[in-house]
Amino acid sequence: MTRGADLLVLGGGIAGCSAALRAADLGASVVLVAKDDLGGTNTSWAQGGIVGQAPPEAGDSPTLLASDIESAGAGLCRTEAVRLLAEEGPGLCRSFLWERLGVPFDLDGNGAPAPTAEAAHSARRIYHAKDATGLAIQSALNEAVRRHPNIQVRERLCLVDLITSPHHCVNPVRVYDPIRVHGAFLFDPATGEVEGALARRTLLATGGLGYLYLHTTNPPSATGDGLAAAYRASARIVNCEYVQFHPTALYVPGKPRTLLTEALRGEGAHLVNRKGERFMAKYDPDHLELAPRDVVSRAIFQEMAVSGEASVYLDLAPLAARLDLDSHFPTVMAACRAEGINPHHQLIPVVPAAHYFCGGVLVDMEGRTSLPGLFAAGEVACTGVHGANRLASTSLLEGLLWGFRGAEAAVRELAEAPLSEPGELAQWRKPEEPEPTDPLLIDQDWGLIRSTLWNYAGIVRTGARLVRAKADLHYLNHRIERFYHEASLSRELLELRSGILCARLILNAALQNPESRGCHYRVD
Ligand code: SIN
């Protein structure tokens, strides 16, 4: 066991880095753990923007922003969380990201961030850094985190489990204690060792789980590690059926999907079939390509089902006539060119892809989970802001705000937070004679999880498909758990163990909820 910091932050995206910086600014000692190099996060992959402050003439207000968020959330948003985000988020975005960290947002003629319009937002309030907003934010956060004397960054470590009492205590009498989180077991793939990292408070910011689906806009590291660990530690988890699909990811057979930002449709790109015919008028004649994400995703799914084609297409010709595509969308253009597609002359093949997990570890307005000692922020957490469907460009803001608030609440609690005595907590136990891990088995298991969720718990769901998926993954879960206890640990095995558990959480929630709402759509 390593005697730890005041705050252990698990995850280095916008939520984790903001929490680390805020706690460190308040004088706490912080250890920030990243699964990859700092910056290898879903935040870095976010092309679209972040809700910022609209100029006075835009006629925006917290009430208007809250109403846009609630319309997207399909009646399931938590009012106090939405209000908090709408009132405090945009100002924090401007003061912390732009004024303090100097994130290079696109600027207006006066040198201030130039908010843009976006589908389903009633005012021009979105800050962009071209089509690589997340990367710009992450780079600025990395620099600040690395410079801060109170933050120790530890990279390439995988979360195995949260350390909880009484579960990990050697003293059997502790069984009567309430559950409390004391840190985390971390696996170092370079040494093959597991270390117990103790801390007075722990904040989960491990991101989402898009990799559980065959098609996703998320990086392969988005395997739900934090959600799975929190569930095993018995934290309250909610809304797991609400997985948001982004309508347009670049489709190239055999290659990972790449997000093609919604801003393309916001600027006028059309969705067409192989013959070049627009089809959104059949599904939402009022909003066409700017209909809510779930509507557009289902329309594409339906078009693909009817035509038997593997994708539909995005046509950038209407934009190319007005905009310099290379300067407005450098990330999109580079991704297309890398696949030999020239969007000036060719249609871009697209499919919907799992994009954002709206459920998660339930937290209060200060990021507290149901487990004492544990906070959560960002995609792993469920604040209730997104309800059953997330409004675009709100997730980076939510991660920032709850990262801040979680850190502030954790630091306030430090006065009455003694560090657990390492002697009372059990050491990590390795299997005596571990089996070697077989990469082929792991790949095969991932294939099964990802295709099962995509086909049976994806954009369109039925009870029969969900029941079938649950049965298939129940057996796989049994095999993976056995393997986990007998094999030598590896990052791949830990991720697979997280993946199968999170898949089952999604399936159980989807089965228990017969009502179509937001991004949980059942045709039965
Ligand atoms: C996009 O650029 O389309 C994604 C933005 C978001 O999901 O918030």
Of 116, 261, 265, which is best to mutate to test ligand 1, by the most ligand atoms within 8 angstroms of its C-beta? Answer: 261
Report the separation in Å between the CA atom of 261 and the middle of ligand 1, taken as the mean of its atom positions: 6
Q: What is the pLDDT of residue 417?
A: 74
CA 457 to chain centre: 18
Instruction: Report pLDDT for 432.
Output: 76
The pLDDT of residue 1 is 64
260 CA distance to ligand 1 middle (Å) = 9
Within 8 A by CB and 6+ apart from 175, the residues are 166
Residue 292, preceding peptide bond in cis (omega within 30° of 0): no
pLDDT given for residue 429 in this prediction: 77
Phi, psi of 428 (to 5 degrees): -65, 135
Catalytic residue chosen out of the listed positions 83, 180, 200, 293: 293
Backbone dihedral region of 128: left (phi > 0), alpha (psi from -120 to 50 degrees) or beta?
beta
In order of 94, 150, 394, 395, the CA distances from 380 in angstroms are 24, 25, 15, 11
Considering the domain 1-242+362-426 in this protein, what is its CATH number? 3.50.50.60
User: Please, what CATH class does the domain formed by 248-355 belong to?
Assistant: alpha beta
Going from the Cα of 393 to the center of ligand 1, the distance in angstroms, rounded, reads 6
- Residue where the block lists tokens 């802001």: 385
Q: Decide if pLDDT at 33 tops 70.
A: yes
Highest mean pLDDT: which of 14-28, 279-293, 319-333? 14-28
Average pLDDT over residues 469-494: 95
Q: Given the CA of residue 355, which atom of ligand 1 is nearest to it?
A: 7
User: How much distance in Å is there from the Cα of 160 to the middle of ligand 1?
Assistant: 30
CB count in 10 Å sphere of residue 396: 28
pLDDT of 420: 63
The residue that leads in pLDDT, 370 or 322, is 370
Shortest-distance Cα residue to atom 7 of ligand 1: 392
d(CA 522, ligand 1 centre) in Å: 24
Compute the average pLDDT of residues 288-311. Answer: 92
3-state secondary structure 378-420: HHHEECCCCCCCCCCCCHHHHHHHHHHHHHHHHHHHHHHCCCC
* CB neighbours of residue 5 within 10 Å: 26
**Residue 434, pLDDT score:** 84
What percent of the chain lies above the pLDDT cut of 90?
A: 85
Sketch the domain layout of the chain as residue ranges: 1-242+362-426, 248-355, 439-512
pLDDT given at position 111: 94
- What average pLDDT does the structure give for the chain? 94
Range with the lowest mean pLDDT among 45-59, 196-210, 394-408, 502-516?
Answer: 45-59
The answer to whether the CB of 6 falls within 8 A of the CB of 200 is yes
Task: Dump pLDDT digits (tens) for 436-465.
Answer: 888 899 999 999 999 999 999 999 999 999
- What percentage of the chain carries pLDDT values higher than 70? 98
* Sequence-separated (6 or more) residues with CB below 8 Å from residue 41: 11, 12, 13, 14, 34, 138, 207, 219, 221
Residues 6+ apart with CB under 8 A from 277: none
| 461 φ, ψ (degrees, to nearest 5) | -120, 150
Index of the ligand 1 atom closest to the CA of residue 248 = 3
Which residue, chain included where needed, has tokens 């696109």? 106
22 is catalytic: no
Which residue CA neighbors atom 6 of ligand 1 most closely? 392
Check if 311 has its Cβ closer than 6 Å to any atom of ligand 1: no
The answer to whether residue 5 scores a pLDDT higher than 80 is yes
CATH code reported for the domain at 439-512: 1.20.58.100
Give the pLDDT of residue 3: 65
Q: Residue 433, exposed/middle/buried by CB under 10 A (0-12, 13-18, 19+)?
A: exposed
Q: Of 439 and 395, which is predicted with more confidence?
A: 395
The pLDDT of residue 58 is above 90:
no
Nearest CA to ligand 1 atom 5: 48
Q: Is the pLDDT of residue 86 over 90?
A: yes
pLDDT computed for residue 422 by the predictor? 62
Average pLDDT over residues 207-222: 97
**Closest C-alpha to ligand 1, atom 2:** 48
Ligand 1 pocket, residue 261 CB under 6 Å: yes
User: Are 93 and 87 spatial neighbours (Cβ–Cβ below 8 Å)?
Assistant: no
